[in-house]
Structure 1
Amino acid sequence: MKVLGIAIAAGALQYGALRSGPTTSLIPGAPERLVKANGLMGADLVADTYRRIKQDIHGLSPSLVILVATRKHAQWPYRQAADRASLEVLVQLACHEEGIRCEEWKTDKIGKLLEVPPKAIDSFELAQLGLTARPVYWSQGRGDAFAAALAALHESTAQADR
């Protein structure tokens, strides 16, 4: 099973792509993150971002995409809230068109599945991914994306064991 975790941080999509098997592992060649293109505005920027998201999701062909829900719920400047909401919608639309299940999970659920604090879901043991060092962009939100993907794999394994 392949799962793509996505965390939205600083206007970018941070990707954590994992594959289950005898051991959980990173998907080789998977994109690390998607940053909006410079120089585009309005509908051109939205269309370009959507095409790139869809291309990334299509290329990975995950069974499931997990969006990490924001912990911030109040006092957002309009532009930040609108940017995040539009990225969430573009991911959901791309998943829908690719026939891929997409869910938004709160950090409470992810933390519970990984047995880590919800405010620090990226603090899980890297050895679970067969890693000894954090991948690039970890602290920019990619750690949260990997946590979401790992939590989804844990949940699917627990359901299969029932």
Structure 2
Amino acid sequence: MKAVIQRVTRASVEVEGRIIGRIGAGLLVLLGVAKGDDERDLLYIVEKLQTLRIFGDEQGKMNRTLIEAGGALLLVSQFTLLGDTSKGRRPGFDLAALPEEARTLYEQAVGRLRAKGLTVETGLFGAHMQVELLNDGPVRSCWTAGEEHRLRLSSLDRGCR
């Protein structure tokens, strides 16, 4: 499982000309589900998102979580995070989970994040979306969940460090 996390002043996602998810200050999270991902990988990402301290305190130091900062989270499924171009110019998506499996874990992520008290907006799984954001900082982080996946996807992480 791969996640790209960006601190934003605002973000929205649009499908067929209609905004379906919108947040003010908070996090835009692009989530790619890989073959073999399971609940442990999901819990790793959820826990990190809940406890990540990248929002400024009174001194401007990154010391607050999303909840402490009063922010929201926009979660967008993006299987293209698992694209592999090591063997050519067109990305291959052999590492991406099948849509049914990915949708299940994506929906579980939404539910678990909300259960942790986070305000969560979403994209539309499997749809062609336009995502608009205003980066804050910019602050960005990339994560790969699970030791097996860190090893398996290490070649894909180069652009995310």
The structure in which a higher percent of residues are strand is 2
The TM tier, using the shorter chain, reads: 0.3 to 0.5
TM-score under structure 1 normalisation? 0.38
TM-score scaled by length of structure 2: 0.38
